Amino acid sequence: MTPLLPITDPITTKQACELLKCNAVTLWRYVRDGKFRKYAVTRKNVLYSTSEIMAFLEASAASSPRV
């Protein structure tokens, strides 16, 4: 089961996908691979932490070679 923790900056799956510029399948893969966590609200409703996603994006940008 996913953690049910209070997060101060929650966003929905749709908002997370827009922020990451990906689809829901890719978002679930990121969660499965441990890139960031999902927070269960109900069995079908999940939220994500904006700060965790932003940290992931910053780390990804830092590790990408610049051309």
Residue 8 has pLDDT above 70, yes or no: yes
Per-residue confidence (pLDDT) for residue 23, from 0 to 100: 98
Residue 67 has pLDDT above 80, yes or no: no
Mean pLDDT score, 43-52:
93
Per-residue confidence (pLDDT) for residue 63, from 0 to 100: 84
Three-class DSSP category at 64:
coil
Q: Supply the CATH classification number for the domain 10-63.
A: 1.10.10
Q: Give the global pTM.
A: 0.80
Per-residue confidence (pLDDT) for residue 3, from 0 to 100: 54
| Domains of the chain, residue spans | 10-63
Structure tokens at 19: 């922020």
